Chains A and B, each alone.
Chain A
C-alpha cells in the first residue's frame, strides 16, 4: 500500500503560462506547498485574490515532521475551511509523564479549558495536514476560486522590481518565466528564495541534533506524552514519546551536536535505542527515521520589497513547544488580509510593514520560549545542570517545582502589544482581550464566537449600541451584536467584559483586537479603523 506521502497529489501539468509569448503577470505567487504556503494560498483565494503555488515537488511532506498543532492553528484552519478535518483525524491527549534518570518523577493530567470550539492542541502528522489543505484547494477550485498548485515547478531565479517580481521556473518540460505583483516565500528553513536574494539569516545560532523515528505499534500502549531527562538509554540527553493517528508513535531522541548522522540513522543503531526505551517485549515497525538539526534564528526583516517571507523561511526555532508550523500559520493569518487591502488599493503598501513588526515580535517570543525550553532540556553549564536536576529532584515530591520543569511550553498566539495598528485601550476589561490579542473563543448557544469573526473587520458589541455597518475610506465593518443575557456559560463576560458592563470591540480580519471601548463612539472607531489599516 502506498503511503499518502508517497503519492503525487499535485503532479506536473503544463500551464498556459509556459506557452505565453510574454511572461504572464499573476497577482500573488507562493513558493512552497507546505502547511504555510497552502494556508497562504487558501486564505488569499478565499479573499478572491488570484494565487499560484509553485512547488518543486509533487507530494506532501515525507515523514511526520510537524506533529503538534495548537488551538490557534485549529482556529485559523477553521477560517480556511479545514479545521474539522484536522480535529476529526488528530489525536487528543491529556496525560503526560516525566522521567528523570531511571525513574518517573511525576505524571500530570491536563484539564481541558472549557468554552472553546477547538482543543488546546492535537497531534497529527504533517502529511495528513497538508493532504487536507490540498483537498481544500481542490474544493475551492471546484467553486471557481482563482487558485492553483503547480507541482514540479522549481524556481531557479528571482528578479526583484519596483512593482513586481520575475521568476525563472524549471519544469520537466523546460523553463519558463512568470511574473507576480507579490511573492510569498514559504520555502522552509533552507529557503532557496532567501539564498537567491542574498539575504542573511541572522540571530543566535543554537545547534543540536534529534533522531526522529515514527514507529508503528499495534500494542496497547497508552495515549500519553512521555518525556525523559537524562535516561539510561540516552545518557546526558532527552527523549520524547508522542502519539499520532494510525497507531504511529513519534519518538524524538536528542543526540547532541557532534555526531555521525549517517551512522545514527541506520536501523541497526536505531532499533536497540528504541528497544531500551520501549521495553524488549514491545513489537514495533519503523515507518520513518530522520535526523533533525535546528537553529534558533530569524531574518532581520520578513519583507524585502515585493517579496514576503513566512514560516520557517523567515524564522526557525527549536522543536520544543511546537512553534514551527504553528507560528507559520500565524504569519499568513497576519499577512493575507493586509495584502488583500493593499491589492485592492484600500490600504497603503506601508500596512505590510506591520506584518514585519508584528510577526517579528511573534518570532522573537517563540525563539525566547523555545530557547528557554532548550536551556532546561540541554543545560549549557555545570550550574545550569545542577539547577535543572534540583528542579527535577524536587518535582518528584513537591508540586511547586513542577511548573519549573520545562520540556516545551504550549504555543500561544502572540499578543501584538505596542503595534502601530492598535488603538489605546479604552475599556477596563480583561487583559486577555486587550488591543493586539487574538480573540479567545466563547460559546454562543450551540455555536461559537470565532467563526462569526472570520475574514472581515467586525464591530463586536456586547450590550452596547452601534450601527449595523460602517464604512471608513473603503473598508467595511459589520457589527456582531451580542448580549451577556444569552451568555449561559459566562465565558463571553469573563473573556470580553471583566468588570465592565458593556463593550465595543473592533476586530481585525485575523481575529485580533484592534480597539475596544465601553461604548460606541463614531469618531474614535473611525480613527481605529484607519489605524488598523495603516493609515494613521
Chain B
C-alpha cells in the first residue's frame, strides 16, 4: 500500500487543465514533448518519495494493480 494519491486531489481542476493546454499552445510537437518531459521531472522532484514515484510510474503505464 503506497501513499500515491489516486483519488481527486487537484484544486480548481479546470483552471489547471486550461493552464496546461495554454503552456503547450503554439509549440511544435517536439517542443511540446520536451515540455511534458520537463514537467514530469519537476513534479517527480516535488514528490520525492521513491516508493510513490515507482507506484506513479506503474499507474501511468496502466499496469494492473
Contact = CB atoms under 8 A, between A and B. Distances in A.
Interface stretch (A193-201, A239-247, A272-280, A368-376): A368-376
Contact of A383 (B9, B10, B27, B62): B27
A139 interface: no
22 contacts: A372-B14, A375-B18, A375-B21, A381-B32, A383-B24, A383-B27, A383-B29, A383-B32, A384-B21, A384-B24, A387-B17, A387-B20, A387-B21, A397-B62, A400-B5, A400-B6, A400-B7, A400-B8, A403-B10, A403-B13, A404-B10, A404-B17
Nearest to A384: B21
| From B9, B13, B60, residue with most partner A Cβ within 10 Å | B13
Interface string B27-58: 10100110010000000000000000000000
A382 interface: yes
Given A393-B62, A399-B6, A409 B14 contact: yes
A406 interface: yes
Contacts of B65: 397
B25 interface: yes
A451 to B, nearest CB: 33
A398 B59 contact: yes
Contacts of B25: 381
A473 to B, nearest CB: 41
Interface residues of A, number: 20
A530 interface: no
Contact of B17 (A382, A383, A406): A406
B9 A400 contact: yes
Contact of A399 (B8, B21, B32): B8
A409 B17 CA distance: 14
Nearest to B65: A397
Interface string A223-262: 0000000000000000000000000000000000000000
B59 to A, nearest CB: 7
Interface of B: 5-10, 13-14, 17-18, 20-21, 24-25, 27, 29, 32-33, 36, 59-60, 62, 65
Interface string A383-410: 1100100000110011110111010010
B7 A399 contact: yes
Nearest to B27: A383
B12 to A, nearest CB: 10
A394 B6 CA distance: 10
A136 B65 CA distance: 58
A100 to B, nearest CB: 13
A404 B24 contact: no
B13 A372 contact: no
Contacts of A402: 8
B7 to A, nearest CB: 5
Contacts of A382: 29, 32
Contacts of B13: 403-404
A399 B65 CA distance: 14
Contacts of A372: 14, 17-18
A249 to B, nearest CB: 28
Contact of A398 (B6, B24, B33, B36): B6
A362 to B, nearest CB: 17
A398 B60 CA distance: 10
A109 to B, nearest CB: 15
A372 B14 CA distance: 8
B63 to A, nearest CB: 10
Contacts of B7: 399-400
Contacts of B8: 399-400, 402-403
Interface in A343-379: 369, 372, 375-376
B38 to A, nearest CB: 14
A376 B17 contact: yes
A390 B44 CA distance: 18
A406 B6 contact: no
B33 to A, nearest CB: 8
Given A375-B18, A400-B9, 8 more contacts: A375-B21, A381-B24, A394-B59, A398-B59, A399-B6, A400-B10, A404-B10, A406-B14
B42 to A, nearest CB: 16
Contacts of B9: 400
A398 B62 CA distance: 9
Contacts of B27: 383
Interface in A401-426: 402-404, 406, 409
A72 B25 CA distance: 35
| From B21, B27, B29, residue with most partner A Cβ within 10 Å | B21
Interface string A208-228: 000000000000000000000
A393 B61 CA distance: 10
Contacts of A375: 18, 21
A402 B27 CA distance: 27
Contacts of A369: 14
